[in-house]
Structure 1
Amino acid sequence: MARPADHEILLTSRPLDEYCGLFGLTRAALAAVDGPVLDCPGGAAGLTAEARALGCHVIAADPAYAAPLPAVTARALAGRDAMAGAMLAAPQLYPDPRHLRPERYLRSWDRARRLFAADTAAHPEDYVAAALPRLPFADRTFALTLSSYLLLAYPGLFGPRRQLAGLLELVRVTADGGEARIYPLHDGAGRRCPHLDELRRALGRHRVASEIRAFPRPGDGRTRRILVLTHAGAGNRRPPGSPSR
């Protein structure tokens, strides 16, 4: 995780394999998802390009896409530099270098950023300028919705009401039987959202089922937790690769 100021959202360049590690997915699971996938916010990630090679259609949504592509990639490069500084300043917040060497990790961001730039130029329709809590997609469009490092990671920008509105919007665009997965459940300093239980109760009042799903973090085996949201009463079908409850 990176630690920019509360008013500044880091534009990241995460590759597909990092997404899999964040959300408890595999490449095979993504390839088997029956329908489009939403990545919100998409940043300058390689997910859309890499997933396309697997036969998985990912739409990335991010307000950054309203800017010209060179400005987006420049901001992503600044985000990469901020991440490098954060890993050096607060190594305790990151995986042990024996499991994840910082220089190798940052090279994966460089590759993802290049993939993003090429794919945005080739497939601009898959990169939509949009921001939570209002997305320009029809109800129940996506078989799987992924949202990383936003709603709960920036409490200075997203207070409880905006967090709830954003979570409800992610569920609105997720299909019956699909899931919206949110990571992390903490801010940039590693502090868990103090009102997460209250948010989950509010979601329940809006007929949204929620679950905290835990799984081993790749590399060091430490536990990672994500928030998983579904339409209440929508049935038990779940995306391939979902760990058991």
Structure 2
Amino acid sequence: MADRTVRAPAPPAAPLVTSRSLDEYCELFGLTRAGIAALPGPLLDCPGGAAALVAEARPLGCRVVAADPVYARPAEEITARALAARAAMAAAMAARPDLYPARRQRRPEHYLRGWDRARLLFAADRAAHPGQYVAAALPRLPFADGTFALTLSGYLVFAYPELFGPERRLAALAELVRVTAPGGEVRIHPLNDGEGRRSTGLDAVRHALGERRISSEIRVLAPTDRGDRARRVLVLRRVGHHR
């Protein structure tokens, strides 16, 4: 007899806890060290993961606050998840090199050594400056309106559609704008899921943001012959405030 037991769907996978460097953030979001140093206020990295942005931006004179629910977990667990993310990235780069931008033409192990350095910087900095690492998750953040001059959100809102359906995605993007200063920007990357498929709900969410008086722009940072895989960033601002 066939087994007709109804099984509950598997829970969605938790986001990877990645370990990116300041230079990789600059590449991904179209930033420069000089631009970060010149920010008129603090920067928010959400989710921060096990990145080195907080540690590496401090010598530039920029205060970065990283927000991520993983910061509620013990340091050993965060390290274990960061190592698992490194292994997952190594496997993905070997299996699907077509998904990764041309800036990674160096050998994968050389690229991933940058993750190792960032992970170690993160661990040391979080131990020394725990107040700059806040355990929090979108779509609700424990920050006052207009706290940050610039807000970055990488590899989350569009990368995990199973976690961020249309309503939760809209709420998350609006929350990132809420905590950003009126003259500041929110930058989101990437605009596709983990398999490289561009989000099908991007136009709808941009229309909904417009109804909330949030302007949106898709900024192409690295136009190439790769078509839809050119590097794009979604830039959000409050209507009436343009830089």
| Fold equivalence (TM over 0.5) | yes
Deviation at 1:129, TM superposition (A): 0.1
Deviation at 1:216, TM superposition (A): 1.8
1:61 to 56, 67, 70: 67
TM-score of the two chains, using structure 1 as the length reference:
0.90
1:212 aligns with 2:218: yes
The answer to which of 129-138 and 223-232 deviates more is 223-232
Match of 2:129 in 1: 123
C-alpha distance in 2 between matches for 1:49 and 1:33: 16
The answer to whether the 8 A contact 2:37-2:60 is kept is yes
The answer to which of 156-165 and 92-101 deviates more is 92-101
The answer to whether the 8 A contact 2:104-2:111 is kept is no
Q: Deviations over 1:89-121 (max 9, x none)?
A: 111111358723211110000000000000000
C-alpha distance in 2 between matches for 1:217 and 1:26: 18
Match of 1:226 in 2: 233
C-alpha distance in 2 between matches for 1:61 and 1:191: 26
C-alpha distance in 2 between matches for 1:206 and 1:16: 32
1:105 to 111, 136, 141: 111
Unaligned runs of 5+ in 2: 1-10
Q: Deviations over 1:171-194 (max 9, x none)?
A: 000001100000000000111110
Unaligned runs of 5+ in 1: 238-245
C-alpha distance in 1 between matches for 2:178 and 2:112: 34
Identity of aligned residues (%): 67
The answer to whether the 8 A contact 1:143-1:175 is kept is yes
C-alpha distance in 2 between matches for 1:28 and 1:22: 16
1:160 to 155, 160, 166: 166
Q: Deviations over 1:34-57 (max 9, x none)?
A: 100000000000000000011110
1:22 aligns with 2:28: yes
Matched letter for residue 233 of structure 2: I
TM-score of the two chains, using structure 2 as the length reference:
0.91
C-alpha distance in 2 between matches for 1:191 and 1:50: 32
1:203 aligns with 2:203: no
Match of 1:194 in 2: 200
Structure having greater relative contact order (Cα 8 Å, sep ≥ 6) = 1
Matched letter for residue 109 of structure 1: W
Runs of 4+ in 1 over 6 A off after TM superposition: none
C-alpha distance in 1 between matches for 2:211 and 2:166: 15
Q: 1:168/1:7 Cα in 2 relative to 1: closer, same or farther (>3 Å)?
A: same
Matched letter for residue 235 of structure 2: V
Q: 1:224/1:131 Cα in 2 relative to 1: closer, same or farther (>3 Å)?
A: same
Q: 1:53/1:98 Cα in 2 relative to 1: closer, same or farther (>3 Å)?
A: closer
Q: How many residue pairs were aligned?
A: 230
C-alpha distance in 2 between matches for 1:130 and 1:157: 15
The answer to whether the 8 A contact 1:21-1:217 is kept is no
Matched letter for residue 144 of structure 1: L
